[in-house]
Amino acid sequence: MKLVRLSVNGETREFSGPLSVAELLQQLKAPRDAVAVEVDRQVIPRLQREAHMLQGGEQVEVVTLVGGG
């Protein structure tokens, strides 16, 4: 099994591959509602999460909405 090493929200972590963005979100137990994902500074739209495979070495940001002004 191939390990995929990623930076997720600024922290380096390893996941078992092959790994799509959708699978990454599942493994992270990220909330389903109001979440956006960026891979190497490009937003990955919801509909492409299944198809977008992570190779390793990417910088991933998983964001949501919090209180602000």
Partner 1 sequence: MSDDVLVVGGREFRSRLILGTGKYPSHELMRAAHEAANVDMVTVAVRRVDLTGRSGPSLLDFIDRKRVALLPNTAGCYTTEDALRAARLGREALGTEFVKLEVLGDEKTLLPDVVATLEATRELVREGFKVMVYTSDDPIVAAKLADLGAAAVMPAGSPIGSGLGVLNPVNLRLILEALRVPVILDAGVGTASDVTLAMELGVDGILLNTGVALAKDPVRMARAMAAACCAGHDAFHSGRIIKRLHGSASSPLEGHFAEPPRRGGA
Q: With CB under 8 A, what is the number of residues at the site for partner 1?
A: 27
By CB under 8 A, name the one of 18, 31, 56, 57 that touches partner 1. 31
Q: Is 66 in the site for partner 1 (CB under 8 A)?
A: yes
Of the candidate spans 15-23, 41-49, 51-59, the one that interacts with partner 1 by CB under 8 A turns out to be: 41-49
Which of 26, 27, 17, 25 is CA-nearest to residue 53?
17
Q: Rank residues 8 and 54 by Cβ distance to partner 1 and give the closer one.
A: 8
Contact 6, 56 (CB under 8 A): yes
What are the tokens at 57?
A: 């070495």
Q: Is 68 helix (H, G, I), strand (E, B) or coil?
A: coil
